[in-house]
Each structure stands twice: as C-alpha cells, then as structure tokens.
A and B are shown apart, each in its own frame.
Chain A
Amino acid sequence: MGKTLAEKVWDEHVVRSAAGEPDLLFIDLHLIHEVTSPQAFDGLRLAGRSVRRPDLTLATEDHNVPTVDWDKPIADPVSATQVETLRKNAAEFGVRLHPLGDVEQGIVHVVGPQLGLTQPGMTIVCGDSHTSTHGAFGAIAFGIGTSEVEHVLATQTLPQAKPKTMAVTVNGSLPAGVTAKDLVLTLITHTGTGGGQGYIVEYRGQAIEELSMEGRMTVCNMSIEWGAKAGLIAPDQTTFDYIEGKPEAPKGADWDAAVAHWQTLVTDADATFDKEIVLDASTMTPFVTWGTNPGQGAPLGGVVPTPSDFEDEQDRIAAEKALEYMGLEAGTPLREVKVDTVFVGSCTNGRIEDLRLAADIIKGHKVAEGTRLLVVPGSVRVRMQAMEEGLDQVFIEAGAEWRGAGCSMCLGMNPDQLAPQERSASTSNRNFEGRQGKGGRTHLVSIPVAAATAVRGTLSSPADLEA
C-alpha cells in the first residue's frame, strides 16, 4: 500500500524502531532562540555533554528583542540576561548565531526559510510551537519543550511516537481578497482547538496549491492552533522556485539530486489517511476571531455570537467567559467593533508578501484617529527588502510605526504590549487572554483586514474603504 507524504518523510528519518517504544527520529535542523534554550544548555553543561551536530543547529534572537533602539543595550535587565546567555552558550558550544543587529536576525521561522535552510523532506524542530510553519515546504516540523531541546542538542534525535495522519482538502479557489489566514481561521473554528490533536496534517487541494510559499507558511504556522502535531504541504514547482538561489540551497549537481528526491515527496494515490476534512475555499470570506482562543471565530460580515446558541456546555461557558473578557456584547456586528491597535507582523504574517499587501491597501490612506498601527517585519532581511521597495514610506506616511524585526506584540515579551482592555486587530496567531499584554483584547485577522481596520478604526475589509 502507498504512503502519505508525512509517512514518507517520517520513515526516512527513523534511526531506530522497537516494539513498545517510540521511534527514534533523526533531526535535520534544530532552530534555537533565547527563551527556551538556556536551561537546555545548562543541562548539557551539568552532564558534561556537547552539542552533537552544531552544523545542523542555528540560533537567533527574536522573542525578547526590542523593535526600537535595537542598537542600544536592551533596557530590561532580565531580557538582556537571557539574550546574553544565548550568546555565551552559542560561543561555548560552537553554534551559529544571528544576534540582534545582524543582517540575518529575525523571527526564527522567517529566518530558516529565507536562508534556504528549510527544505522539503526534512525534520525540523525548535523550542517554539510555531515551528509547524516550515511544513509549508513538505517538511515534518514541530515545536518541542526545553527538555527536548536539550535532547536534540545532545543526540540530534528525538524519541517520538508516530502520529496518525489527516488530510485537509481545500477545494476550489479563494475569492479575491480572501487569504491563507482567512482559510486557516475558518478551518480552526470548524475543528476547535483540539481537532487536530494526535495528527500530522497534510493540507492539499486546489486552494492550497494556488497559495504562494508565504501563504502556505501562514496555513502551516497555525496547525498548532487546532492542536495538530505538525502540518505540511507537498512540495511542487512553487516550492522549488522559492528555494532556488537562497544562500543555503543546494547548488549545481546537488540541486538536481535534491529536486529529484523532493519530487517523490507526494502522497501516493493508493495511500490512506486516518481522517479527512474537506472544505470549499470558494465560499470563504474574511474571517476574524471574537473570543479568547483561535477556534472562536466568525466571518467579518457576521455578529458577535450569543453563548446560549452553543450546544456544547463547555463551548457555552467558554463563550460567556470570552465575551466578558473581550468586553463584547452578543449580537454586535463585528464591523462595529472599535480597535485601538493594529499589529502587522509575526511568524504568521510578517513576511515580505504580507508587508506588500498591507502597503498596497494602506497607500493613499491615513491611520484612523485614535488607532495606532505597528508594522513589525519578520526579519531584518524582510525589513531591508521592504525599504528597498519603499513600503516603509507608505506606512510612515499613513501614520504607522515602522519597527525593527522580532516577535514583538505577538506575545508581548518585549515592551510592545497592549494595555489592560486595549483592543487589537492582530495578524498574529493567538488571541489568548493576556497574550499581547495583561488584560489586552486580541482579534486575529488577515493582512487585508488589518490594513483596512487601521484606516477605519473598526474591524473592516478593504471593500469597506471603497464605500
């Protein structure tokens, strides 16, 4: 019987398999950042162990770093210590590091692909749940905890029980103005936050094939938000074209050998999935969240739901708590929800295509009175590319804040935070209570909705700007 894409990649990485034990998987690329690695390096030191494969390891600074004054010492002493600890550890253990100020610094999930290190058929891990992003290239990529970071550093492997496989087939084409973000938010509201639990998910179908690599990364990025172990997409010409010429991409005869192998990385016609979800892209519309988990979403054209409409008791209680926290009245049209801050950025939507789309919508408009727009490129390279194209001027002329690269307000670990009860429209991935700052209220949105919302000051789509 044939194999699914996920099974092929998995089987190619099994170092050891024994009954009653998880498979021991080889890890092709281990990405590291400052927050989830210090205790792992400490563990190595205590046990007198070294990093087995520094040449398969890459570190950068992203979670903690400021997006203003990044050329000055980090003001928060605790953040500064954590960043300094990564620098010491990278030097001591021989790990390549792109620190703040380096041209290759940025969000770890933006840096890997843009360096060409993320390639089809790989196993990629990082102490960050949005590692699933790299699945867009046909890699098995997933987030791990710090004990596992230490395990990979010491052994370049991970014991992993083989997950089940699921297909998410998205037929038809996305309508104009509806993006990969709307697609994945629609999916998560359909499945709930636990719907993907225990599965590696393959996204496929016409709408997925038609996405750019940036769009595919947005979809795979949010796999974890519905609980999936990982999400991946079969590599195709779009993938190969994106990788070719990147600094760490194979070259010459190596390129030909790599592509020949990558072309085999598709689900066989006679392979079976443990589960399949089928969606129709052609009926999708701009989609936003109203609650405090990514599964609490609705079409932008809809209203804040009424908790008593939920059949499941847990869903009803969760909706009640969410509306209270979010300060929303049931039945309010979502387009009437006033927003204080718009955040454009993150590993979900902080790549060059995202900034181009945002600038295209904002051009010729001003950010609404009483609303602030933060634009945070996913990496220094993205920032430089945007400046070369004049996108920074579009944002600045509209009244936006044009920042340096990093995770920023996605998780509010640096000074970019919401104040209590401040409301954001955010292109990031999590609307959890307090995620963007204690008491902050987050609506997850696409790039077009973020841009239009910045101009109108209420949740909006670009179509509203023409009215």
Chain B
Amino acid sequence: MDKFTTHTGVAAPLKRSNVDTDQIIPAVYLKRVTRNGFEDGLFSAWRSDPEFVLNKPEYASASVLVAGPDFGTGSSREHAVWALQNYGFKVVISSRFADIFRGNSGKAGLLAAQVDEKVVQKIWDHLDDHPGATVTVDLESRTVRAGEGPDAIEDSFDIDDYTRWRLLEGLDDIGITLGHADAIAAFEDQRPSWKPVTIH
C-alpha cells in the first residue's frame, strides 16, 4: 500500500445522505475477479443523469468526495472502495461512515475523513461559490482545508490512531499480524476440542 500523508485535489459535493454501497457500485458490477476496472460501475445509476455532479466538467478531475451522513452503508463489498479509487478518488469526507466501509477504506488506502456535519456544509457552500475548487486533507495534522483569506475553512477530522499510523506508513496488515504467529499458535493450542471444524 502506498503511504498517505497529505492530499490536495478537486472536491466534488455529493449532497445526499445514506449513500449505500449499492449506489456506489451496484451488484451487477461486482463480477470481476481483479481489483481494478470498477470505475465503470461507480454511481452508475446516477451517472446516467447529465446533471449528476461527476458529469460536470469542473469536477472531471475530482479526487476528494464530500458526502452527506451515513456514507457507505449496506453491503460489505470492498468493491465500493476500489470503484472510488479506480475512478480517481483519494479521500471521502463525511460526517458519518458505516463501519465496514470505513474499515475497508483503511485497508485499501482510501482516506475516510470524518468531520462534523457543519464542516461538510461549509465545504459544500464553498464549492457552490467556487465550483472546481480544491480541498486539502492532511493526515499528519488531521486537518481539512479549503479556500483562502477570511472565508478559509480549516477544521479537524477524525480517524482512529491505528488506521492513521498504517496509512502514514503504508503498512500491510497481514505482515504485521504474521509477526505475532507465535501468539496465534499458542491460542490455537488451548482452544476446546469440541469447537467445530469443516474438514475432518
């Protein structure tokens, strides 16, 4: 996984709550056996509408998505994270993420930055006034920044310490866990014998 420290990019406002993973990528697009190529399914139902935010030229190069609360609810499909990444997104900002989506983001290297609902509204207002404006997301200082001068937005975002550290270092979870192989083996040795197995 690549290290993530800070990112500045065009921010696209997605003014909806409860953007579930079936909206992010419908099930019919989940049939690939690779981790790439899912950008065609991203928000596929909405992208058929010419007025949809990602179809507007000023957001053509968007890499930061600013969405309403309860982003990523529903299915556990990590394809939702891959679809956002394959399309070019590095960061999603929302006031609340579904647990599994947030977990998947941390594993795959997409930054899920949780901010206060008022911050989402401030960024949306800023983007209404300045379509195509950029937003900076700084993982080291846990801040989001947008705009300049007296109207500049600077606020903090939440991310758990462990995920932040892994993203900053670009670490592979499995490698970390395999470093504790002895502890796993010791645990296995004391499991009750009546616990079920699938192969006898």
Contact = CB atoms under 8 A, between A and B. Distances in A.
Given A145-B107, A197-B96, A36 B20 contact: no
25 contacts: A20-B161, A24-B177, A24-B183, A35-B77, A39-B34, A55-B198, A63-B27, A81-B33, A82-B32, A122-B196, A129-B74, A129-B76, A143-B75, A151-B177, A155-B178, A156-B184, A193-B18, A194-B69, A197-B99, A227-B99, A257-B192, A411-B27, A432-B23, A435-B22, A435-B27
A56 B198 CA distance: 6
B160 A161 contact: yes
A96 B180 contact: no
Nearest to B45: A434
A294 B90 CA distance: 29
B195 A433 contact: no
Contact of A119 (B69, B98, B108, B196): B196
A26 interface: yes
Contacts of B107: 145, 147-148
Nearest to B105: A145
Contacts of A64: 31
A73 to B, nearest CB: 16
Contacts of B160: 161
Given A119-B196, A434-B22, A145 B177 contact: no
A28 B22 contact: no
Contact size range, B: 35 or more
A318 B18 contact: yes
A145 B45 contact: no
A413 B30 CA distance: 8
Nearest to B180: A16
Instruction: State the main secondary structure of chain B at its contact with A.
Output: loop
A80 to B, nearest CB: 9
A156 B184 CA distance: 8
B187 A26 contact: yes
Nearest to B22: A432
Interface string A404-432: 00000001110000000000000000101
Contact of A227 (B26, B70, B75): B70
Contact size range, A: 35 or more
A433 B177 contact: no
A150 B104 CA distance: 12
Interface string A56-71: 1110000110000000
Interface string A246-261: 0011100011011001
B148 interface: no
Contact of A314 (B20, B68, B75, B194): B68
Interface string B165-200: 000000001101110110110011001111111110
Interface in B4-53: 16-18, 20, 22-23, 26-28, 30-35, 45
Contact of B173 (A151, A248, A261, A314): A151
Given A96-B198, A155-B177, A161-B162, A127 B76 contact: yes
Contact of B174 (A49, A122, A321): A49
A28 B197 CA distance: 9
Interface string A144-159: 1111101100111101
Interface in A109-159: 116-117, 119, 122, 127-129, 131, 142-148, 150-151, 154-157, 159
Nearest to A293: B18
A257 B194 CA distance: 8
Among B16, B17, B107, B160, chain A packs the most CB atoms within 10 A around the CB of: B17
A145 B31 contact: no
A145 B162 contact: no
Nearest to A81: B33
A163 to B, nearest CB: 8
Contacts of A254: 193-194
B131 interface: no
Contact of A39 (B27, B35, B173, B184): B35
A1 interface: no
Contacts, number: 207
Nearest to B70: A194
A435 B20 CA distance: 10
A145 B183 contact: no
A46 to B, nearest CB: 11
Nearest to B106: A147
A269 interface: no
Interface string B143-173: 0000000000000000011100000000001
A432 B74 contact: yes
Contacts of B70: 193-194, 227
A203 B158 CA distance: 30
A137 to B, nearest CB: 12
Contacts of A147: 78, 104, 107-108, 173
B162 A21 contact: yes
Contact of A412 (B28, B68, B76, B194): B28
A335 B98 CA distance: 33
B33 A82 contact: yes
Contacts of B22: 411, 430, 432-435
Nearest to B28: A413
Interface in B69-93: 69-70, 73-79, 81
A117 B174 CA distance: 26
Given A36-B77, A411-B27, A435-B22, 15 more contacts: A29-B198, A36-B76, A55-B197, A57-B198, A58-B198, A122-B196, A145-B100, A145-B107, A146-B104, A155-B174, A159-B173, A227-B70, A293-B18, A413-B27, A432-B23
A64 B100 CA distance: 22
Contacts of A314: 17, 68-69
A54 interface: yes
Contact of A154 (B31, B108, B178): B178
B184 A22 contact: no
Contacts of A197: 96, 98-99
A135 to B, nearest CB: 15
A396 interface: no
